[in-house]
Chain A
Amino acid sequence: MIEFFQNSIDTFNNTHHIIQLCILLTLLLIAAIIFSLLYLKNLRDRLKIKGRIESTYQKKYASDLIEYLYSADGENINPEQQKKVDYLTKCAQNPLKRKIIIKTFLKLRNEISGETADAIQNLYYQTELIKSASAKLKGKKWDAIARAIKELTQFEIKETHDEIILLINHPKKEVRNEIQKYLVKLFRFDGLEFLDVLESQLSEWDQIQLLEILNKFDNPHIPNLGKWLASENKSVVSFAIKLAKLYNQFNVKDDIINLFEHHDPEIRIQAISVVSHLGIYEAVSILKNNLFNRNLDEQIAFFKMMEDMSTPDEMDFIREFVNHENFYIRISAMKILNLITVDTDNTFRININDTELIIDNVLTKAS
């Protein structure tokens, strides 16, 4: 065997350098394939086991938690409970077990309410899980910070507010988003204070998320939107317009009218679109006066708005647009003049017999 290896090494040494390179490369690839296969086998096994381990621990911690909750006999913690607290605190030192404990706590907390839910929140303090989450806020890893904020939100920990708001302009949008959700979920409309100091843009995705969270609260106390409608941050203005529309803030009429001259065309369109909802009738003449200086999308938004806002005085003005080259302006003009009725499904009816010519000429219909 030794002789065979010796001969192989001699042969290798006597071959051309390129062949030597090829042999080495081949051996390297074979080794990489073997290593990858072993890793793959191990990985698949681990993934299978991981699920089982998680499920076992989850059951164990759920039973510990229930024992803790039902062994309570007064306001103070009894020795039996203390034993559970110590055990869970010790387990939480291990990152995987900590994750499972948090998951178990949250699962049970979402299923129950009242005193028992409060007891779980107390346990979150007693097991010092809150300390490790708060400590992560000072860390450097963005995902650890975001995860910590998410956890604090889920356990409704309000006292970390001051620490968290300092991170509102964090360079990672995931962290910023978790902070926004923390503030709005825990402090409702008061949590929107972050809009005053937000330097980055609030994406449409973030805005929808926040509005959906706010939508779940009854008796909304809407803060004054004026300062946000005048914000330098375009996304804050956009968000404030949405708030004004959703919560019928009729007191912001002047701010909306000011936005017709905003430097960003999307904001101008959004402002025009909200006019009919808030019933800002004085806006109609303002927009009409400089309609032709506005871009096509603004003009379309104007006519869409006019579908709800036009009065008989404007019929002559509207009639001029029945043959407009733009489809949407044309349809809006015809709807306003009541030549056609378009339902929400975009199916339509012709309302006046003598308009057949107009329909054929300017409107494509599917029938």
Chain B
Amino acid sequence: MSLNLPSQLIQIFDFLFIGFAIAAIGSYIILAIISAIETINYMKKNSFVNYSEILSSSIAPSISIIAPAYNETLNIVENVRSLLSNHYANYDVIIINDGSKDDTLEKLIEAYDLVKVDYLINNQIPTKPLRKGVFKSTNPAFDKLIVVDKENGGKADALNFGLNISTQRYTACIDVDCLLQEDALQKMIKPFLEATDTQVIAAGGVIRIANSCIIKDGKLLEINLPKKRIVRAQILEYLRAFLLGRMAWSKLNGLLVISGAFGLFEKKIALEIGGYDTKTVGEDMEIIVRMRRHMEEKKIKYRVAYIPDPLCWTEAPDNYKIFISQRNRWTRGTIETLRKHRKVGFNPKYHSLGMLSYPYWLIFERLAPIIEVLGLFYFLFLIVTNNVNWEYAIFFIIIAYLFTVLFSIITIITEELTYHQYRKKGMGMQLIKTAFSEPILHHPFVLYAALKGNFDYYFNKSIKWGEMTRKGMTNN
């Protein structure tokens, strides 16, 4: 079938898609360069820091680690032990059992000698009520532990309860199944304490994937690369995002998201804005945007900090069903947040938040999968109507593929130059193989999940959080 489309129309579409591709590639390169420079600077500056000097200090600011738990019976005891083994001097651990249907609470009561106590709670943010109450340990070894049993209200509601009950100045919100490095709190608190002319409102660190790593007694003993391609691909994705993206956004003071797996907040600001939004599935991104918006509107100089050190290890989905469900939720979270705060977008009143971060997220995160699929449909349409210039098309695909591979290899090099975590023999080769296969074998699933997220957001409102089946990271 041959259809003579107006050549001007084809040219317009060609320029649109090629223009988007060039803009995306250009932005990745710019962000990567800024990230690399910033990471080198960070490493240089950090070589003078002695974290042990802060470790034992009784005047180091207090931190509450808030960890919501829902049906975590499998690993809860070990996970809490890991949280309690942090090296920081002045912190407590608040576990919010968010209406678990299993015996999560009973396991905790038994393992940590918990008893019910009368506890003062400042109900500044409305949340679901308590179910069985607040528990503390009779064993002095666990005096840092507070366990709350409340009715189910979702992750955001549980975190809000944690904000209400915490009496510390800073709150670290984490996923209970995450493995924190022992020095994670010292590293995370540093930007807050270092700032003299700006207020640091939140800080995030690098999340790394712990599948196949050897963990014992809440400590990471050995880093391994998992055998499953899907997990390796995610390792590469995480490295790209954290090493060659977020550091640049931190430098530009444009960070819009701190991973829900581990983030540290100035509690006062988090309370002032009303805590986490319980109506979104992307509460980790939404709270950062709202905190930033709040600071911009109050005209206070502020910063969202980012630590490039690997501080937190988490279990990534190891099958495509769960992976798609997780990415679907991330997509819906992004859409919800950007829609909710659309007033900020392209608004010079919000400075870099309105003129840089929001537009970038809208175009290169929110719209990118849609534009990519439209491009594919357009390409199919051109094939069907016999309007493809095959020479151009083939080169376009080859160049896009080669750029993606090159970008991933540069990410691996950056990892080697900075943290050199995958040091076992053969790991380099496995990561390179993943760099070559990921754009073909993994990316289609990422695209599908993003599209499904868009579809579910507009046409399937009843979907909330997907289920994440934990295999457990301990004693692998």
Q: What residues of chain A have their CB less than 8 Å away from a CB belonging to chain B?
A: 15-16, 18-19, 22-23, 25-26, 29-30, 32-33, 36-37, 39-41, 43-44, 47-48, 143, 146-147, 150, 173-174, 177-178, 200-205, 208-209, 211-213, 235, 242, 246, 327-328, 331, 342, 345-350, 363-367
Which of B50, B133, B192, B409 is in CB contact (< 8 Å) with A36? B409
**In the complex, B167 has a CB within 8 A of chain A:** yes
Report whether A19 and B395 are in contact in the complex, using a CB–CB cutoff of 8 Å: yes
Which are the 10 A-B pairs with shortest beta-carbon distances?
A22-B395, A201-B196, A366-B119, A29-B402, A205-B193, A204-B193, A366-B134, A327-B122, A347-B117, A367-B118
User: Smallest Cβ distance from A267 to chain B, in angstroms?
Assistant: 14
Report whether B412 and A40 are in contact in the complex, using a CB–CB cutoff of 8 Å: yes
The interface residues of chain A lying within 8 Å CB-to-CB of B45 are 174
CB interface residues, B 101-152, toward A, < 8 Å: 116-124, 130, 133-134, 136, 143, 146, 148
Which of A26, A37, A41, A201 is in CB contact (< 8 Å) with B399? A26
User: Smallest Cβ distance from B141 to chain A, in angstroms?
Assistant: 14
Report whether B60 and A208 are in contact in the complex, using a CB–CB cutoff of 8 Å: yes
The interface residues of chain A lying within 8 Å CB-to-CB of B417 are 43
**In the complex, B467 has a CB within 8 A of chain A:** no
Bound-state CA distance A44–B143 (Å) is 45
User: Smallest Cβ distance from B99 to chain A, in angstroms?
Assistant: 16
Bound-state CA distance A279–B122 (Å) is 30
Report whether A347 and B413 are in contact in the complex, using a CB–CB cutoff of 8 Å: no
**With known contacts A26-B398, A36-B413, A44–B428 Cβ distance under 8 A:** yes
Report whether B392 and A22 are in contact in the complex, using a CB–CB cutoff of 8 Å: yes
Bits for B175-216, please: 1 = Cβ < 8 Å to A, else 0. Answer: 000000000000000101111110000000000000000000
Which of B50, B124, B194, B420 is in CB contact (< 8 Å) with A327? B124
Chain A interface: which of B51-59, B355-363, B442-450?
B51-59
The interface residues of chain B lying within 8 Å CB-to-CB of A47 are 416, 420, 423
Report whether B413 and A331 are in contact in the complex, using a CB–CB cutoff of 8 Å: no
**In the complex, B432 has a CB within 8 A of chain A:** yes
The interface residues of chain B lying within 8 Å CB-to-CB of A211 are 57, 59
Which of B54, B123, B130, B428 is in CB contact (< 8 Å) with A41? B428
**In the complex, B410 has a CB within 8 A of chain A:** yes
**Chain B, Cβ-Cβ closest to A213:** B53
**Chain A, Cβ-Cβ closest to B124:** A327
Report whether A366 and B402 are in contact in the complex, using a CB–CB cutoff of 8 Å: no
Bound-state CA distance A41–B428 (Å) is 8
**In the complex, B297 has a CB within 8 A of chain A:** no
**With known contacts A33-B409, A40-B428, A347-B136, A19–B391 Cβ distance under 8 A:** yes
**In the complex, B247 has a CB within 8 A of chain A:** no
The interface residues of chain A lying within 8 Å CB-to-CB of B158 are none
Report whether A366 and B196 are in contact in the complex, using a CB–CB cutoff of 8 Å: no
Report whether A177 and B48 are in contact in the complex, using a CB–CB cutoff of 8 Å: yes
Report whether A367 and B133 are in contact in the complex, using a CB–CB cutoff of 8 Å: yes
User: Smallest Cβ distance from B400 to chain A, in angstroms?
Assistant: 10
Report whether A364 and B120 are in contact in the complex, using a CB–CB cutoff of 8 Å: yes
The interface residues of chain B lying within 8 Å CB-to-CB of A44 are 416, 423, 428
**In the complex, B403 has a CB within 8 A of chain A:** yes
Report whether B194 and A212 are in contact in the complex, using a CB–CB cutoff of 8 Å: no
**In the complex, B405 has a CB within 8 A of chain A:** yes
